[in-house]
Structures are given as C-alpha cells and as structure tokens.
Amino acid sequence: MARYAMVMDTRACIGCQSCTVACRTHNNLPVDMMYNPVTTVGPTGVFPDLHMVHIPLICMHCENTPCVDACPTGASQRRDDGIVFVEEKKCVSCKACVMACPYGARVPNHEKGTVQKCDFCMDRVDKGNVPRCVQTCHQKARVFGDLDDPNGEVSKLVNGNHVVRLLGELGTEPYVFYILGLEAQIR
Amino acid sequence: MNRNVDLEQEGIVVKKSCCYFCHQNCGVLAYVKDGKVIAIEGDPEFPTNTGGLCCRGNIALLHLDHPDRINYPLKRVGKKGEGKWEQIPWDQAISEIAAKLAAIRDEFGSEAVATAGGTQRTDDWARRRFMNLFGSPNGFHNSHLCWIPTFMIETAICGWSPFEIDLGASRCLVLWGQNPGVSSLPEMHHLTEFREKGLKIMVIDPRFTETAAKCDMWLPLRPGSDLALILAWLNVILYEGLYNADFVENCCVGFGELFAHVEQFTPEWAAPLTWLTADQIRESARMYAMNTPGNIQWGPCVDQLGRVSGAAIHARALLRAVTGNLDVPGSDLLTGPSREYITDEEMEGNEFLPEEQKAKQIGSDKFKLLTWPGYSKIAEATKKIWGKAPTAEWMCEAHPPSVFRAIISGDPYPVKALLVSATNPVNSFGESKVVLEALRKVEFMVTCEYWMTPTAALSDYVLPIAGALERPTITSSYGCTDFLLASQRAIQPMYERRNDYNFWKDLGVAMGQGEHWPWETVEDAYFAKIEPLGYGTENYDEFVEWYRFHFPERQYQKYLNQGFATPSGKVELYSSTLKDLGYPPMPEYVGPVENEIDHPELAKEYPLVLTTGYGFMPFHHSEHFNLRSVRYINHEPHFQINPKTAKEYGIKENDWVWIETQRGRIKQRADVTQAVSPKVIVTERGWWFPEREINEPVLGGCMESNTNVLTSTRDEDCDPISGTWANRGLLCKIYKVDGKEGK
Ligand code: SF4
Ligand code: SF4
Ligand code: SF4
C-alpha cells in the first residue's frame, strides 16, 4: 500500500497561483472557493535587503486526522494510502470538520451544501496520474508520490533535505512536507 | 480539466494544440469530442512547458466560450462609440470594408490606411502581405516597446540579435529588466534548475520581483538609469582588463575608439545616477565578466526608456562583444534566421511595396533604424551572410505615436483608416489621451477582436477572431530563430469566428490581390513554410502529429567561417551602420527622459521617480480582465510604494491614490511594500474595466487606471534611433484620492 505525500519546494515556488486555478478548474469549484491558496510572505526586511517566499497550502493529509474524528456522519474519511477525503453524499455540512482542521483546509460549498477539500486528486492518482496542481506547476515546486518508494522523488526530497511540516507540534503528522531554501528563511 | 469529464469515453480525439495567452505558446493537449473541446491539459511532452500551464492556460475552456466573446461580424449602426451594432455576414463585412479602403486609397493614397497590431498571436506576415500589396508602408505594432529596438541595434552591431541563450553551459546569467517569474514561467523553471547546478543569476530591476527573490545578486537601480550602469560596466571591464582580448582583436573593429570613449564612465560617475554604490557596480561588472561564458538575457525595460533606449541597447550589445560572450557554448547565441524553412519575412511580400511608398512611411525621416532606411541597410548586410533578412513586420514599421498624431493633425499627410488587430491601443500604446483622440477622430476603423474593448467600441466594424484552440500556431520567435514549434487547431472556429489570416486574405482577394494569396487555409500557408524541411508529411496537421518541432543541430562560432553580418564582417564596436544613419557610432550618455539632475524644476513639482507598466499575474498586457476566474486573484489595479513614502503621504495599504505626470493622472490602489525604493513608484499596466459600460463616454473606464496616460511619446522623448517612447524613469507626484472621487 502506498503512502501518498506531497513536497512543496518553496525554493522553486514563485507564487503564480497556477495551481490554485488549475485545482479550481479540475474540481469545478465556484470562483470564491479554493483548496490550495498560495500565500506570499514578504518581501520582508528593509529595502534593498529583502526576502520573499511563497507557501502553497493544501489539505495536509494528516495521519492523525482531527477532521475525520470530528465528523459525525462518517463523510470524512482517510484511506489506507493516506488520502483524506469527503464522501459528499454523506456530508450534511455541519462544519464540525471545518472547526477541527487546524490548517483551514476545508471549505464549505454553499451552492452544493457540502464541505469540500483537496483529496490529492484521487480520481487522477488512482489512474496513475499526478494531481492536477502538480502537473500544472511550471516550476515543479510541487512533487507528489509514494513516500514508501525509496527511489521515488518524494522520498528522495524528504530524506535529502531539511523538510518541515506545518504546525508539527500538534501531532497531526501531515503528509505534506515543505522545503525551505536559504533565501526562504522567514525573518 | 474537470474531474467529471470522462476521458476514457469513446470518440475522443486528442489534439496537439497550444495556449495562446502569452508569448510562450505552451503545448496543450485538447480532448475533443464531436467537434467540442471537452478538456485540456498541459502537454507533458512539449519541450518548454512539459505539462505546465499557468493561470491563464488553465482557463482556456472558459475563454473559448465566454459570454463576452464576439462571435459574429458587427457593423456600427449608431454614432461612433454609441454601442449600437448590427450583426452582418462576413461577406458583407469584407466587401464593405474593401470598398471603403478603395475609396480612401483613391482619394488620399494607399498610405492613408494604417494598421495597428499587438502581441504575436496573429499571422502578422499576412497582415504585412496585405499592406504591401495594398501599397501602404504604415503598419505598426507595440513592438517598439518590446525587443524590436534591441533586435535591430544588436543586429546592426553583431549581424544578428543573440536571442537564444545557452544556459546549460553558462556560468552567469544577467536578467536585465526581466521578470520571468511572472512573464515566462517555463524559462523560470530552467533558471531554478540551472542555479542549483551553479549558474549565477543577477537581476537588474528597480523592483524586488519574483525573480529577484531567487537570484544571487539584485541591483535595484534608479528606473531609467540603465545606460549609466552599462557604460560603467564597460569602463570596469575594459580598464580592469576583464575583456576577451582574443575575441576583441580577431573579431571586432573599433576597440581603440571604444576604450578611449568609455574612460569617462567610471563607477564613481555612475553611482549617483544609478543610486547604486561604485562598489556594487564594480562587483556586478566583475561577476558578469569573470564568469564566462555568460549571458545577458533580454528584458523589455531597456526598450522602454524612450530617448535613452537606443544608446543603452547599443552599450549592452558591446558588453557581450568585449567579453566574447557571442555564439560560443554557454553564451548568447547567434542562430540567425532559418535557412531550412521559409521564414515570415519571405512570406511578407515586401517586394510588392514600391520604393516611393516605402519612402512615405511615417516616422522614417526621424527614427531611422526601425523604418525602411535602417531596415534596408540591415537587410542587405544580413542577406549577405545569412541569405535572409529579419522579419519586416515588427522590424520595419511606421512610428506608432507619429501615426496617431498624423490621424489627429493630417501631418505629414492624412491618415484616414486604421485596421486594428490583436491590440487595444488606448491601453497599450503611449500617451493614451493622444491615442484616444486619434481613435475618436479616425474616419474609418476596423477591429479584429475577441472582446468588445474600448478600442473596438470606437470602430466601424468589429470582427470575431478565432482563439488558441480554434487555430493552428507556428512559432519561430517572430522569424528570428532557426527552430520552430508547431501546434494544430483543436476544433474549427466556433460561431462565425475566423482566423486573422482569413481576414487579411479575404480582404486582399476582395481588393484584387487574389493571385498573391495561393493558400486556401492557414494550414496550407504553414505547410508551404515547412515543406522545404523535408519531413515528408502530406500536410501541416500530420507534421504536428508526428514531429511538432524542428530543432536544427546547434552550431557554435559560426563567425569563424562566415564572419558577422555587418558591413565590415566583424562585430562593430564602432558602428558604421549607426554612423551612416546619422547616429553616434558609440553610445553617448543621455540622462533618463525626466530626471532630477537635468530637470530640477520639474523634480520639485514631481518629486518621485515613476516606472510604469510592469507585468503581473494573472494578466497579460491589457487582456483577461473579463475572466472572473482569474480576475479574482487580482481584482483591482495596484501600484507599489515604499512604506516610508506611504507614511509621508498618509497613504495606507489599499488606498486609492492619484499618480500624476505632466501628461495626466490615473488612480490605482496602494500596495505598500518594501519591494521598491522610497523614491520610486511602480504602476501596473493594462487596466480597464470590462464590467463597466464599454461605450462612450465611459469606454470601460479605459483612462482611469491606465498607466499609459502617464507615459510620454513626444518626439524629443522618443529614442532617436528606434523611436521607442518613454515608459520608464519618468517623474511623478502622488496624492490620495479624496472620498468623493473614490469608488
Ligand atoms: S503553480 Fe507552482 S510555482 Fe505557481 S504558485 Fe503553485 S506551487 Fe507555486
Ligand atoms: S489538514 Fe485538515 S482537513 Fe486535511 S487531514 Fe489534516 S485536519 Fe483533516
Ligand atoms: S491535489 Fe488536486 S484537489 Fe488537491 S490541491 Fe492539488 S489539484 Fe486540488
């Protein structure tokens, strides 16, 4: 069984938001909804001594899932390969998961009356493709794959670099890893 | 691509199409069923984008059938600009336009018909061909602001413009006024990759950009002071002995003159002009000259300095030459035009335009290099070495601001008709007030468009044009490189949209040019271009399906056996071509168009330095504002201002602020950021508001936040060599929009 993970290489991300738009198109989301905002930190410092970093956010596909635990109907689930998803027809939009997720990764769809989120494009992944946001990224700043495949790019990146997981102290054990480059150090 | 679309259903054909929303032409796979595109994605096998697509590429399907698209030929029925249109058949539109153009030609001469073009997403060779056959020399583009001055000046000096860079073997890359982090994403990816392998990258830009954030050295120079910096680099490189003595001795003429000429331009001299320290200037010059082979990548800013542009481009070309960074592995490459396929220039039919008509080209008496006098000289030299000339469309054009003025004043002669294709002049050409006056005044205007733009709204006919997925595309960087990338159409044009090629051809045929338009479809024309390559395919689509690209084998140091395409056969550090045209043979220093040293009085009233029109995601030039799906990312116009300055003026983040130059004022919202110096204001380009009324007098609010209102196109502010006008290094003042004026 695979353990899917995504690496965000902030050394390469330029904050172009192509991934955001691609995801929205792929998931047919209304204009005001997104699964993967890209936040820009900076420029920090004082002109002309500056730094800037872009941090793409998505669902962290946590190993310990406060969202799934909070869901009263069983709509929120975690697959064996680690993909966390919402089974829409079971979702009653009580928003318990929205409150529980420390990453703000879950968004209510007011048109459909459900809560939705990034599911690592499991429709594509199950057919052997990479997620839409990964494919669309010109900069190859997002890398997706099986963490258990020692020859895969994901495990090479995770093991060969200093990676961080957001809000690591919460113990959610996310499967999204961030590489922060030298110039990306947030002051 | 939408997850609800089943791509395994029967009857789907995958077409190798491309994205057309900027110059990159990223490869796209279009999934087509029953004549409809049901999904698209980036083509993983396309060499530049390898599956990537930016925001714009991803909304291609929304663009294809957007409710605002123009789908049928429209004829004005009310007053000009009133917004009353009648839908008419194409045949009627073509025959009426042909009749009107013929009447204008009979009364005022062919030169009374001008055309305005935009970015290359059109078959400009077809437009040129029509104009040549019609007899008018007065086609023009925005291209004066974008690479064309560079191309022609570099060609004058080195015999071709080194447009391609060889990054794999390069040790240093200078990005001069370019931000690939928003403007060419495929390129940006390569930069990141090569930098990891040790390539040093330097960004020269007043703004801390997406790209500057990822480079090894950033030089935040005073906007418009590029020339001073380049001259000082030359001084450092020559006087510290960092030049390539072999190359200079064997391949260049005029080194002695140049050596003497740049003695005066010390880093200490340049420091106050550029706002950099002498040390920064020395260090950066050394970084470039000591890390050879290296590249200086073109960026548009130097082409946008107005009267400084020509000398700055000239001086920058000399940097490459004295360091020997020309056509060796890892340096700027001189590919020349393709000798294997038929280039755009060969399709243009320039031989059809009589000499006496060439002589009438507007602006050719003032700005000689990018018009027939200079172009002819260059074409003669390049034909000797390469056998071919640069593309005339782009490189040999009427001077746009002078054409707009001719429309208004009738001087040097009346210009009565303007055919507009792929541009929205009010927002994209300089000094918008003048442009708007001209568009309101011109007797007859036809616009080929996707949308009702402020310009289209003032037209007599608006014609619906096919977009990326509805037309094939072939690109060889404006006919200036030797490779080509080809894409096919995914579907036939929807509704009554047509290719721009068909517009020019049909109009040409209606005006008696039939024998000169042998290609029925645009695919036929493209196939005629590539047939000499000998791939043995039956037609264009087959070529795309089986080969798609043509990359000739790279040859370096071609000058060793063929010389350079200049009159002397060498790189002319002392340029005979420029001298013969009446320009200084070596770059003389001139200050930015408006600056605090030469114009202290002006600087009192306008104390801040303005640079206009930077590119920003997700828009491209003045378009895509209609698309809600990308507009939400960047909803309103913003200018950049340093927090210190903002505080001084009582401006807070997001406040509406007036930005004013001698030419007028616009309002944009404040983006309070350390990215710019406290003395600098940087405005976004392109803005108009398709959500407003697009008729007179509102015209989509096209003057309100449009940075081109602030730019200058006076003859004396234009570059005497190339005619490019001033977008950078101007002086401005700012003040808050008061409550009543706000929205
Ligand atoms: S597409 Fe890639 S580079 Fe652009 S914002 Fe997303 S992750 Fe960053
Ligand atoms: S990021 Fe939020 S939604 Fe995603 S798995 Fe973790 S808790 Fe659940
Ligand atoms: S993995 Fe798929 S659903 Fe998740 S952010 Fe990327 S494109 Fe969106």
Average pLDDT score over residue span B369-392 = 96
CB distance B127 to B421 below 8 Å: yes
Percent of chain B residues topping a pLDDT of 90:
89
CA separation for the pair B458, B280 (Å, rounded): 50
Sequence-distant (6+) residues with CB within 8 A of B547 are B486, B535, B537
| Tens of pLDDT, residues A104-123 | 999 999 999 999 999 999 99
pLDDT of residue B743: 53
Residue of A nearest to B275 (CA): A48
- Type of residue numbered B581: L
Pocket of ligand 3 contains residue A26 by CB under 6 Å: yes
Contact yes or no for B58 and A32 at CB 8 A: no
**Nearest residue CA, atom 2 of ligand 3?**
A121
Confidence of residue B375 (pLDDT cuts 50, 70, 90): very high
Instruction: Check CB contact under 8 Å for B633 and A21.
Output: yes
Specify the pLDDT at position B741.
65
- Decide whether any atom of ligand 2 lies within 6 Å of the A105 Cβ: yes
Q: Which helix (H) or strand (E) holds B85?
A: strand B85-87
Amino acid at the residue A96:
A
Q: Given ligand 1 and candidates A13, A34, A41, A135, which is best to mutate, with the most ligand atoms within 8 Å of its CB?
A: A13
Q: Which of B22, B55, B642 should be substituted to probe chain A, the one whose Cβ sees the most A Cβ atoms within 10 Å?
A: B55
Residues of chain B contacting residue A16, judged by C-beta atoms under 8 Å apart: 54-55, 181-182, 185, 210, 617-618
- Centroid of ligand 2 to alpha carbon of B626 (angstroms): 35
DSSP B143: G
What is the tens place of the pLDDT at every residue in B404-457? 999 999 999 999 999 999 999 999 999 999 999 999 999 999 999 999 999 999
CA dist B31 and B380 (Å) reads 47
> Is the CB of residue A38 below 6 angstroms from any atom belonging to ligand 3?
no
For residue B317 the two structure tokens come to: 């070309």
The best mutation among A97, A103, A177 to test binding of ligand 2, ranked by most ligand atoms within 8 Å of the C-beta, falls on A103
Let me know the angle formed at the C-alpha of A157 by A50 and A45, rounded to the nearest 5 degrees: 10
Contact, B268 vs B589, CB < 8 A? no
Is residue A142 within 8 angstroms of chain B, CB to CB? no
Ligand nearest to the CA of A136: 1
A residues 147-176 closer than 8 Å to B (CB): none
Q: DSSP character for B264?
A: G
Distance CA B394, CA B392 (A): 6
Please report residues of B whose CB lies closer than 8 A to that of A47: 208, 220, 642, 674-678
Nearest CA in chain B to A9: B192
- Are the C-beta atoms of B238 and B258 separated by less than 8 Å? yes
pLDDT digits (tens, 9 = 90+) for B541-584: 999 999 999 999 999 999 999 999 999 999 999 999 999 999 99
User: How far apart, in whole angstroms, are the C-alpha atoms of residue B330 and residue B641?
Assistant: 38
**Residue A187: is its pLDDT beyond 50?**
no
Report the largest interatomic distance among the alpha carbons of chain B, rounded to a whole angstrom. Answer: 73
Is the confidence at residue A183, as pLDDT, over 60? no
From the DSSP assignment, how many helices (H) and strands (E) are in chain B?
29, 27
A183 and B CB contact within 8 Å = yes
SS3 B620: strand
Helix (H, G, I), strand (E, B) or coil at B383: helix
Print burial letters for A156-166: b (CB count within 10 Å at least 16), e (below 16).
ebbeebebebb
Residue B5 pLDDT > 90: no
Distance, in angstroms, between A46 CA and closest chain B CA?
6
Name the residue facing B189 among A44, A121, A140 (closest C-beta): A140
Amino acid at B644: K
Look up residue B599 and give its two tokens.
Answer: 């114009």
Mean pLDDT value of segment B193-215:
94
Asked if the peptide bond before residue A48 counts as cis, ω within 30 degrees of 0, the response is yes
pLDDT digits (tens, 9 = 90+) for B253-302: 999 999 999 999 999 999 999 999 999 999 999 999 999 999 999 888 99
Q: What is the pLDDT of residue A184?
A: 44
Q: Is A28's CB within 8 Å of B678's CB?
A: no
pLDDT per residue as tens digits for the range B109-127: 999 999 999 877 889 999 9
Q: Is the pLDDT of residue B206 over 80?
A: yes
Complex ipTM > 0.90: yes
Strands B36-42 and B473-475 turn out to be unpaired
**CA–CA separation, B61 and B168 (whole Å):** 36
Ligand 3 proximity of A146 Cβ (cutoff 6 Å)? no
Q: Within an 8 Å CB–CB cutoff, is residue A61 touching chain B?
A: no
How do residues B493-538 score in pLDDT, each as one tens digit? 999 999 999 999 999 999 999 999 999 999 999 999 999 999 999 9
B327 to chain A, minimum CA–CA distance in Å?
A: 28
A134 C-alpha to ligand 3 centroid (Å): 8
Contact yes or no for A133/A142 (Cβ under 8 A): yes
Q: What is the pLDDT of residue A182?
A: 57
Q: By CA distance, what is B62's nearest residue in A?
A: A25
pLDDT on residue A60: 97
Q: Give the span between the Cα atoms of B415 and B101, in whole angstroms.
A: 12
Token pair recorded at residue B610: 């303005």
Does the beta carbon of A176 lie inside 6 Å of ligand 3? Answer: no
Calpha distance B207→B187 (Å, rounded): 19
Minimal Cβ distance to A22: which of B58, B208, B674: B58
Compute the nearest-CA separation of A84 from chain B (Å): 17
Q: How far is the CA of B625 from the centre of ligand 2 (A)?
A: 34
Do residues B651 and B670 make contact, with C-beta atoms less than 8 angstroms apart? yes
Number of A to B CB contacts under 8 A, please give it. Answer: 128
Structure-block tokens of residue A34 = 């997104």
Nearest-5° Cα angle at B445, B440 to B449: 110
List C-alpha distances in Å: B672 to A43, B278, B311, B639.
11, 29, 34, 8
Identify all chain A residues contacting B211, using CB atoms and an 8 Å cutoff: 14
Helix (H, G, I), strand (E, B) or coil at B524: helix
pLDDT at B742: 56
Task: Categorize the per-residue pLDDT at B367 as very low, low, confident or very high, splitting at 50, 70 and 90.
Answer: very high
Question: Mutating which of B192, B280, B609, B680 best tests the A interface, going by the most A Cβ atoms within 10 A?
Answer: B192
Rg (CA), chain A: 16
pLDDT for position A185: 43
Which among A10, A13, A24, A25 is the top mutation candidate for probing chain B, defined by the most B β-carbons within 10 Å of its own β-carbon?
A25
Check CB contact under 8 Å for A46 and B41. no
Note the Cα B542 to chain centre separation in Å.
31
Task: Using alpha carbons, select from A154, A45, A37, A23 the residue that is nearest to residue B41.
Answer: A23
CA distance B234 to B464: 50
Q: Identify the residue whose C-alpha is closest to ligand 1 atom 4.
A: A16
Work out whether strand B294-297 and strand B172-176 pair parallel, antiparallel, or are unpaired: parallel
Could you read off the pLDDT of B658-700 as tens digits, one per residue? 999 999 999 999 999 999 999 999 999 999 999 999 999 999 9
User: Of B9, B26, B5, which is closest to residue B17 (Cα–Cα)?
Assistant: B26
Nearest to A14 among B41, B44, B188 (CB): B188
Angle between helices B372-386 and B148-158 (to 10 degrees): 50
Give the helix/strand (H/E) hosting B659. strand B656-661
Mutate to test the interface with B, among A21, A124, A144 (most CBs of B within 10 A): A21
> Which run of H or of E encompasses B376?
helix B372-386
| Residue-level length of chain A | 187
Q: Which two tokens stand for residue B14?
A: 């995958």
Query: Residue A124 CA: which ligand 3 atom is closest?
Result: 2
Share the mean pLDDT of chain B.
95
User: Is pLDDT of B605 > 90?
Assistant: yes
| Contact call for B182 and A16, based on CB within 8 A | yes
B291: left (phi over 0), alpha (psi -120 to 50) or beta: beta
Per residue in B632-663, pLDDT tens? 989 999 999 999 999 999 999 999 999 999 99
3-state secondary structure B27-79: EEEEEEECCEEEEEEECCCCCCCCCCCCHHHHCHHHHHCCCCCCCCCEEECCC
